[in-house]
Structure 1
Amino acid sequence: MMSRYLTNNTLRYALFFIAVLPAFIFRDFTPDNESRYLSIADEALRNGAVFTFADHGIIYADKPPLYLWVVMFGKWLFGYHNLLFLGLFSYVPALVVLYIMDKWVKNILSERERLVAQLMLLTSGFFVGTAIVLRMDMMMCMFIVLALYTFFKMYIGEGKPRDSWLFPFFVFMAIFTKGPIGIIVPLVSTITFLILKKELRTIGKFWGYKMVLVLLVLCGAWFAGVYAEGGSQYLNDLLFNQTINRAVNSFHHKAPFYYYFGAFWYSLAPWSILIAGILIAGLKKKLAATDLELFFLVIALSTIATLSLFSSKLAVYMLPSIPFFVYLSALWLAKLGSPRWMFLLAGIPAIILILIFPGVIVASQLQKINEVGISPLVFISCFILSGSGILTFRLLRKHELNNAIISLGTGILISVFVVSFAIPRYNKYIGLQEICNQAKETAFEKGGVNYYYCEMTIADNLNAYLGVMPEKLRIVDLYKADSSMKTPAILFTWHKAIERNDSLRVFLKGKKMHQWGGNFYIEIDRKK
């Protein structure tokens, strides 16, 4: 099996997929972004909207429609929101990125070196994190990588006639998935590359009339649909407030220009120290001797530099640069010949993994951890991580760097697979589905209730689970003689709110309370 894993690409991708499959099968939706997308999609289906969206009646032009269409289609197809189905639109694009990057270097790196690059990319913190959460970022990353790969084929003369149309189509799809970043990364990267190659005069070959035509037709159809449905106010919010205003003076996610320097270290963990060392050494030795290496370097650095100029910053925005940081490192790793310092840098994450199993044993003795409980599967997963760390360390001592990286990456994937089976035990701490299902059972037993929530910020999207939107109440509303609360009722709240508010505790005294994780629902049969 191990020899086939090292040489059989199809088997590797199957194992890569199986490693995260239980996580999609067993986990609940998170109550923030994931549930928000469900709620927005439900509202669009109720309103018959296609191009314009609302979040509880408020214009939601933050994102283009492609991913929300996926969510809406899933709801129509299954009759409910299926996490496994939606998860495919995050993880399959990640595997496509892996496939394209691997194909790009197929004639340069050996089979083992390509496996090293695949595992480094797939287990990089923000890459795997974005691949297993329900967001549109990985889809955008896939289209950007496809666009850049198509550009490079055209540049080196290996493109086919259809590539001159596919390039602008992939750029549009990246825009249609996440917005302006979809065109900014390919545009800045390719122009910078052509400038460095002293070939800027050829830009019309790539960003010429076909690009303009495709973007005008497809964006024109999109914006026309937006205007027809939402009018000038929605179109203005989509084109200006969510683009120019975010870039120049963001209303949220503001951060200093050096933000991505810090984000680099955890976004590419556990490989960030090794990758940084390789990049610094490669730049010093001027290893970017080929067009491919120069292009990868330009994409990685120009993306970070461009993002740093924008007011709005999040670590996930640098996702399109991560594949190129990793694969440029893999290319230069083969050139540098594994000097001693590489083994030292690769040994740091190995040592950290070795300490994980002893660490979780110590943590299990802490009172707060004991209250939640640690599943035996968590201990097994941590044992696997520590075991892979020990094996990695032994391989490093034998100066087998590639095998050490394969050991570490494989251990991480196996531990993810094992720990995924423990997720049902912790779903009540992850999402709101369990508490809502129980609340609906209570409502059915009572013959119907009215839903409310109080002092619970994550309750905005409870309607995605309940099918109806609970009404928000302030604590003072609970005591009003003419309160709008209609009984029988179910009131949702958060344990922190109960701990912090004497008035809320007094109101709840004597009432039947049900707790799931850190959240409560309370049965209220008569007004107080």
Structure 2
Amino acid sequence: VSIFVMLSVFSSKQDYYLLPIIPFAIYLSMLLLNKFDVQNTWIKLSIAIPAVIFISAPVVIFYLSRMEEAAFLGMPSIFVVAAILSISGLIVIYRLYRKNNVYRSLCVMSIGILSMTFVLGCSMPRLNPYIGVADLCKHAKTLAEENRISNYCVYGIHRAENMDVFLGEDVKMVEKEDIVGDSLTNAIVMLPVEKIKKDEELHSAIKNKTYLEIGNHAIVIF
């Protein structure tokens, strides 16, 4: 509780700042588990619900990967992760209700989560372009240096004001009219690929420019 209070008071209001609490919360839960009847319906249900979610992982991933904005989920490594979760979920349900062994079920679930984390960690280099803007900024900076450009413009990217941390330069927010009106010169423009595909005017204004796709975003040299 003291860790939660301290992190809430002194840290920014971001969810991931509370991550240090999780190991202690898990440890406390395991200590308290001995004080309860492990065959209690609610305890079993609290394990079974995540297990069922794990089992459905391949179906959910397959469905999401068919969506254009989440196409990167179709990577083989992501399906390996989904398979690991699904298999561990099936074993958990079997151990929980056929063998009535709560502790074994928890061990299997833990192994499944750790295995998933390991595989996902190995896949991060290929996932980085789709997560955040660090990779996008790295390529934009390289293109800017090669073409001696110092103006960075952004259109339609969420929280783009933080990109100056990666670029080392201020970022200018532009509108669609600036791009299609050809009022931009000597500039690097970063925007979502989805906007280019869905907007014919944007596509026409960009098609003859030097263009590079990085994950879900595009870099265009004006």
Give the TM interval when normalised to the shorter protein: 0.7 to 0.9
> 2:3 is matched with which residue?
145
CA pair 467-407 structure 1, distance change in 2 beyond 3 A? same
Alignment of 1:385 onto 2:57: no
Q: SS of 1:513's equivalent?
A: strand
- Map Cα deviations across residues 415-439 of structure 1 (whole Å, 9 max, x no partner): 1111111121121111222222222
Contact kept, 8 Å, 2:4 with 2:21, in 1: the verdict is: no
- Map Cα deviations across residues 157-206 of structure 1 (whole Å, 9 max, x no partner): xxxxxxxxxxxxxx6x8633359xxxxxxxxxxxxxxxxxxxxxxxxxxx
> 1:47 is matched with which residue?
none
- Map Cα deviations across residues 94-114 of structure 1 (whole Å, 9 max, x no partner): xxxxxxxxxxxxxxxxxxxxx
Contact kept, 8 Å, 1:454 with 1:474, in 2: the verdict is: yes
Mapping of residues 216-295 of structure 1, within 5 Å:
none
Equivalent-residue separation in structure 1 for 2:148 and 2:16 (angstroms): 45
TM-score by length of 1: 0.36
Contact kept, 8 Å, 1:375 with 1:422, in 2: the verdict is: no
> 1:394 is matched with which residue?
94
Equivalent-residue separation in structure 2 for 1:379 and 1:503 (angstroms): 37
Alignment of 1:447 onto 2:148: yes
* More strand as a share of residues: 2
- Map Cα deviations across residues 38-88 of structure 1 (whole Å, 9 max, x no partner): xxxxxxxxxxxxxxxxxxxxxxxxxxxxxxxxxxxxxxxxxxxxxxxxxxx
Equivalent-residue separation in structure 2 for 1:365 and 1:315 (angstroms): 26
Q: Gapped runs of 5+ residues in structure 2?
A: none
Equivalent-residue separation in structure 1 for 2:212 and 2:24 (angstroms): 49
Q: Gapped runs of 5+ residues in structure 1?
A: 1-140, 148-170, 180-313
Alignment of 1:177 onto 2:11: yes
Aligned AA (1:337): D
TM-score by length of 2: 0.75
TM-superposed deviation, 1:316: 7.3
TM-superposed deviation, 1:479: 6.3
Equivalent-residue separation in structure 1 for 2:219 and 2:159 (angstroms): 13
Equivalent-residue separation in structure 2 for 1:345 and 1:506 (angstroms): 53
Identity %: 28
Contact kept, 8 Å, 1:456 with 1:497, in 2: the verdict is: no
CA pair 349-439 structure 1, distance change in 2 beyond 3 A? closer
CA pair 355-473 structure 1, distance change in 2 beyond 3 A? closer
Structure having the higher Rg: 1
> 2:171 is matched with which residue?
470
Q: Which moved more, 1:456-465 or 1:493-502?
A: 493-502
> 1:414 is matched with which residue?
115
Q: SS of 2:149's equivalent?
A: coil
Equivalent pairs, count: 220
> 1:515 is matched with which residue?
213
Equivalent-residue separation in structure 1 for 2:52 and 2:21 (angstroms): 27
Q: SS of 2:110's equivalent?
A: helix
TM-superposed deviation, 1:378: 2.3
CA pair 414-507 structure 1, distance change in 2 beyond 3 A? same
Contact kept, 8 Å, 2:180 with 2:202, in 1: the verdict is: no
Contact kept, 8 Å, 2:163 with 2:171, in 1: the verdict is: yes
TM-superposed deviation, 1:490: 1.4
Choose from 44, 47, 57 the match for 1:346.
47
Q: CA RMSD of the aligned region, Å? A: 3.8
CA pair 468-373 structure 1, distance change in 2 beyond 3 A? same
Equivalent-residue separation in structure 1 for 2:52 and 2:24 (angstroms): 26
